[in-house]
Amino acid sequence: MSRRAITLLVAGFLVLALGIAGAWLDVPYVVLSPGPTENTIGEVDKKPVISIQDRQTYPTTGALSLVTVSYQGGPRARPDLLTALRGWVDPTSAVVPEESIFPRTQTAEEVEQENTAEMTSSQDNATAAALTELKIDYSMVPAVLSVEKTAPAAGVLKPSDEIRTVDGKPITSVDQVSAGVKARKPGDEIVFGVTRDGRQLDVTVKSIASKQGTAMVGIVMHAKYKFPFKVSISVGDVGGPSAGMMFALGIIDKLTPGALTGGKSVAGTGTITPDGKVGGIGGIAQKMVGAKDSGATIFLTPADNCAEAVKAAPDGLRLVKAETLHGAVQALDAIRSGKGVVPSCSAG
């Protein structure tokens, strides 16, 4: 064999070896794909997704399904190049930079904790929004959801502490607690007026600097609602706030006679505020594929996601625009009765 042939053979072998090795290299991307759907008026593991105690409920039919996005990747388990390439060519998947899901300012554990907190908050907000829509009274106080083990607040503030004041200023919302802390400088002592086990007391926490340079004490807050009856929501290992609207619709359906869907299979997504505003979410394309695969024919779409949804909607899936919970209920009423205007998504 000539020297030239040997050189070409060796070079070809090296290129192949490098290509194979490179294909198995981890890459800083996350592959998004359609996740499971759950019917909020149905059951998971033979248990109702939504359980309501001490209040009359009504049987219903059809489906009001929440949709999810599954992901491969993250700082602790990055995908290899081949997995990322398969995601790029799969029309039902999306490949996004790792930092869009796991910001560099947060650890993977912090992201998971935040998703869990957001899911808890989403369920409470959904109950509040449903009761607001049905004109059922309830009350709310900002409270501590969790305390970081190594944070200044550890051992001083406790989960379930209801925050009445920050540095003497009355508090009525979670945002006011956050604003009150951030208004101080790192190192300042912050006095929290709290209600704990029925007792009112003042506790002092010395703040530290967050990664953004603002004051922090290391607590996660949530709105602690006091409802006139108990609403429990269980969907297993699902995190984040994007199922809020569908939870609220499921609660309304159970608390009112008849089937809100008219027996149809409806899916949807969107965050919810206690006063019923529907917010945009991520992964809309993957969620619509999951909805279609689950048998849904109608997809309740946050107004902020409409333009993107129109471009990626699977055939046979009707996109209904939802700006508020009240609007979503009205749209379902119009679809069920065949009367009234049903708002639809447009590309503009």
pLDDT in tens, 200-220: 999 999 999 998 999 999 999
Distance CA 174, CA 176 (A): 5
Q: At a CB cut-off of 8 Å and minimum separation 6, what does 112 contact? A: 239
pLDDT band at residue 49 under the 50/70/90 scheme: very high
Q: At a CB cut-off of 8 Å and minimum separation 6, what does 64 contact? A: 39, 40, 41, 246, 249, 250, 253, 260, 261, 266, 267, 268
Q: Tell me the pairing of strands 139-147 and 94-97.
A: unpaired
Q: Is 66 left (phi over 0), alpha (psi -120 to 50) or beta?
A: beta
On the question of pLDDT at 154 being above 90, the answer is: yes
Q: For a pLDDT cut of 90, what percent of the chain falls above it?
A: 64
pLDDT band at residue 239 under the 50/70/90 scheme: low
Measured between alpha carbons, how far apart are the two ends of the chain, in Å? 66
Q: At a CB cut-off of 8 Å and minimum separation 6, what does 116 contact? A: 239
* CATH number, span 139-226: 2.30.42.10
How many CB atoms sit inside 10 A of residue 161's CB?
24
Q: Tell me the pairing of strands 189-196 and 199-206.
A: antiparallel
* Stretch(es) of the chain classified as CATH 2.30.42.10: 139-226
Tens digits of per-residue pLDDT, 294-335?
999 999 999 999 999 999 999 999 999 999 999 999 999 999
Of the spans 22-31, 117-126, 298-307, which averages the highest pLDDT? 298-307
List C-alpha distances in Å: 333 to 243, 244, 330, 341, 343. 21, 20, 5, 10, 12
For 227-251, give one letter per residue: b (16+ CB within 10 A) or e. beeebebebeebbbbbbbbbbbbbb
In this structure, are residues 308 and 346 in contact, taking their beta carbons and an 8 Å threshold? no
Residues in the chain, how many?
348
pLDDT band at residue 117 under the 50/70/90 scheme: low
Would you tell me which CATH number, out of the four given (1.10.287, 3.30.1760, 3.30.70, 3.30.230), belongs to the domain 31-105+118-135+228-337?
3.30.230
Query: What pLDDT, on a 0 to 100 scale, did the predictor assign at position 5?
Result: 52
- Please list the active-site residues: 242, 287
pLDDT band at residue 11 under the 50/70/90 scheme: very low
Of the spans 24-33, 92-101, 143-152, which averages the highest pLDDT? 143-152
On the question of pLDDT at 19 being above 60, the answer is: no
* Stretch(es) of the chain classified as CATH 3.30.230: 31-105+118-135+228-337
